[in-house]
Amino acid sequence: MTSQYRIRADFDDRTLVVYQAYSPAVADAALRAGRFTAPFSFTRMTWIKPSFLWLMHRSNWARKPGQTRVLAVRITRDGWEEALTRGRLTTGDPAALAEAAVHVQWDPERSLRGAPLNHYSIQVGVGRGLIRTYADDWVTDITDITAKARRIADLVGAGRTAQAKQLLPPERSYPLPAAVGRHLGVDS
């Protein structure tokens, strides 16, 4: 695939940030504990997204019911790459997808105003068989960024996009080992 399918993320040498939106009950419990705990569901797939703007589109800037709290979840790069290695594309073989521990899909990246762009963002669904590993082993930090998300949305709504852009998290091309991304159509 082309560079349209490159992973863009905020990362350092050891970790990568993914974004998730939750209800206040789930977010508050996770923030208090420093990790995901009940009422977070360990029995259903959880979707993690390294694209801040895609999650803002999905959660309507933290205003969609059940998604009013935005968390920046820092996970290990080893965990991220394990998820991708175990992942199967949602557009691939249905039988392989049904057996996969992780589902991967590509969706159009979004602009500040929510318009689809000409490149794609990755969404990674961590399945029930791996969700405890995600929550207990991969997660290194959880930060509530709801106020920042709403501030950016307010600036965009007021036509102050230059200021809004300055508040966006840094996202750059993630250097995946070729073997990890090959079956997912990721350029390294």
Query: Is residue 138 included in any domain, yes or no?
Result: yes
Q: Per residue in 103-113, is it b (16+ CB within 10 Å) or e — as a string?
A: bbbbeebbebe
CA–CA separation, 160 and 43 (whole Å): 42
Give the predicted TM-score (pTM) of the model: 0.94
Q: Give me the phi and psi of 83, to 5 degrees please.
A: -60, -45
Q: Say how many C-beta atoms besides its own lie within 10 A of residue 3's C-beta.
A: 10
Q: Give me the domain span that covers residue 88.
A: 8-175
Query: Is residue 184 included in any domain, yes or no?
Result: no
Query: Is residue 169 included in any domain, yes or no?
Result: yes
Q: DSSP letter string over 86-112?
A: HEEETTS-HHHHHH-SEEEEEEEEE-T
pLDDT of the chain, 188 residues: tens digit per residue: 457 888 999 999 999 999 999 999 999 999 999 999 999 999 999 999 999 999 999 999 999 999 999 999 999 999 999 999 999 999 988 998 999 999 999 999 999 999 999 999 999 999 999 999 999 999 999 999 999 999 999 999 999 999 999 999 999 999 988 887 777 877 55
Which residues on adjacent β-strands are paired with residue 70?
A: 21
Query: Is residue 188 included in any domain, yes or no?
Result: no
